[in-house]
Structure 1
Amino acid sequence: MDPQVIDRPEKSRYEILAETDTGAESDTGGSGDGDRTETAGFAEYHLSEGEIAFIHTEIDPRFGGRGLGGLLARGALDDARARGLRVLPYCPFIRGWIGKHPEYADLVPEARRARFGL
């Protein structure tokens, strides 16, 4: 399975699910036979009045070096765009990712881009 980004509004975060090979029972219902899917990382947010403020992003070190942080950022920002939300990238990772992908800068309100260095 390719990594998947899903919104968990009850936890106020996007999660990225990826496969790992541990042979243990998965928290998402895996069989325990070899590869399983688990939460590899998350991007916490606060949602209010048409804005989504990203406040913290984290990838489990066991999944490091696989590009999952970038996939998580892209998935979360694509969802924000689809929902018509304005993005406030307080999280340094999300802010840095937008800086490297200027096609996402329009999600940040123009009057607030300078505050975020965008």
Structure 2
Amino acid sequence: MARYTDVQQAAADGFRFAYEPDASRYAVYRSGAEGREDLVGEAHFSLRGSELIDFDHTVVIPELRGTGISGLLARFALLGPAASGRRIAASCWFIDGYLAKHPEILEEIAAQSGREE
């Protein structure tokens, strides 16, 4: 299976990343049989007031491990509208680890929200 480095590359292979505020999640879908889309991953969050977002659960189906889809989902969620203007908490071990491996994303988050970290 391919190793994905950006959302556009994944989209070319039938993946779609979505923000689903009513479900408090960011999701990734893969084009399936007969034109349907299958949910293959999600990054769930909880809003803690107006100033904090906690990413509390992230999962991608096992067959996609090692493809980069999890990392793309994490990045998509962290830079998404739910996190905009909020401090980030990560009680999910995957998001916490992603932030540790990619500290530059905190600068991108701060730049998006117009504040300095």
Q: TM-score, normalised by structure 2?
A: 0.69
User: Which runs of structure 2 are paired with 1:25-104 in the superposition (5 Å)?
Assistant: 32=34, 36-47=36-47, 48-80=49-81, 83-104=84-105
Count of residue correspondences: 96
Q: TM-score, normalised by structure 1?
A: 0.68
Give me the CA root mean square deviation. 2.4
Verify the 8 A CA contact 1:80 1:86 in the aligned structure 2.
no
Higher relative contact order (CA 8 A, sep 6+): 2
Structure 1 residue runs of 4 or more that deviate by more than 4 Å after TM superposition: none
Match status 1:15 vs 2:27: yes
Please give the secondary structure, in 2, of the residue aligned with 1:38: strand
> Which 5+ residue runs of structure 2 have no aligned equivalent?
1-9, 111-117
